Amino acid sequence: MSPKPTASSRWRLPFLLVILAVLLGVLYYQHMPQTVPAPPAGAPPQTAGQPAGQPVAAVQSGTPVMPKGYQPQLAVRDPFAVPPEYLVRTPGAAAAPSDKNQPKDAKPVLTGVIVAGNVGSAIIQYGSDSRSYRRGDLVGPYQVVAIGNQSVTLQGPEGRFDIGLVGR
């Protein structure tokens, strides 16, 4: 009398067959060639969606391929792209707030300082404009000379002077 098969032994053979089939599939796909066969010599290249036998228009190198009807002025700008005025920062060449909108007696007010090692940025309010400045940037008629932990040194029409953080 042979032993009666249990529930676990009944599923063992199909389970092993499934595992074997998966392993064989993995081995088969690993050894398949990954390259696309080249067209015969002298045959024009084909693109997707183009009927066979029609030549592909030659593309000059460096010229982007765009769909018919593309108008660059209608393209939506990348919301994550850095604006061009922030890409290159050379001392003294930063855009200063427009002096036309500022009162003549406007004085810069330091509202924040960020210093990391020997590089610093200062948040300065000048009139109604408030933005970040680095050493060498212009704040209206004033140039940022130095940025400390709690103050910024400016050079302006009245000479060199320090401004401290507001409320400190």
Digit-coded pLDDT (tens) for 19-67: 999 999 988 888 777 666 666 666 655 555 555 555 555 555 566 677 7
Q: Where are the domains of the chain?
A: 84-164
CA distances in angstroms from 139 to 50, 83, 96, 104, 156, listed in the order given: 58, 19, 5, 13, 9
Split at pLDDT 50, 70, 90, the class of 69 is: confident
State the alpha helices, DSSP H only, in the chain.
7-30
Q: Name the CATH architecture for the domain at 84-164.
A: Roll (2.30)
Instruction: Determine contact, residues 124/131, Cβ cutoff 8 Å.
Output: yes
pTM: 0.42
CB neighbours (10 Å) of residue 124? 25
122-156 residue pLDDT tens:
999 998 888 999 999 999 899 999 999 899 999 99
* CA–CA gap between residue 58 and residue 38 (Å, rounded): 19
